[in-house]
Chains A and B, each alone.
Chain A
């Protein structure tokens, strides 16, 4: 089965840049989507198809995908960015797969 590995947690000070990785075998051949989930709420897509942003998502959030690693980058981090972030892909043999999630803490 296809596996996506994310760091359990990332901590960053306000105004700094947070980088959240998602590692999977040859992930660059897949479309990667990123979801933000705040406590008690449903997930919200923040980046889709590697690097596109839905309406209303600030440009501070950006995505990239190369080799075995997809990355969600949050620039000029704000307290409101504190949340869990999940990457997701579709794989021919495993269907939809989520990474384990990364808890972003804003110090």
Chain B
């Protein structure tokens, strides 16, 4: 059974940092691209970042302007999102999602999702 479990969320101050983790199991992690998708409570989905199976190709939403960094550790079956210079508007549920393909940029889709973790940015 595929499982994706996010952790590391919580309260952060504006300008602060957080690191989200996603522990994966039940599939061949190093054969799949992975993504982060966020959702402001009650609003729509927003793609945040993607990373290819080998970490050589990564992508970010333009709105992030270099504040976030995605990484993965295939030996630990884990995906990470380092979030810096946090803003109030980054407050959202953050989902980790598995891609059906090895590269994050293409016609693959998100076939499994974690339950999401809430990040709240507030002073």
Contact = CB atoms under 8 A, between A and B. Distances in A.
A and B interact: yes
Interface of A: 1, 30-31, 33, 35, 37, 41-45, 48-49, 54, 86, 88, 90, 94-101
Contacts, number: 57
Interface of B: 35, 37, 44-47, 50, 59, 61-62, 95, 100, 105-111, 113-116
Nearest to B61: A95
A101 to B, nearest CB: 4
A33 B99 CA distance: 12
B109 A48 contact: yes
Given A1-B62, A42-B115, A95-B50, 13 more contacts: A33-B110, A35-B45, A37-B45, A42-B114, A43-B113, A45-B109, A49-B109, A88-B45, A90-B105, A96-B35, A96-B50, A98-B45, A100-B44
B44 A96 contact: no
A33 B109 contact: yes
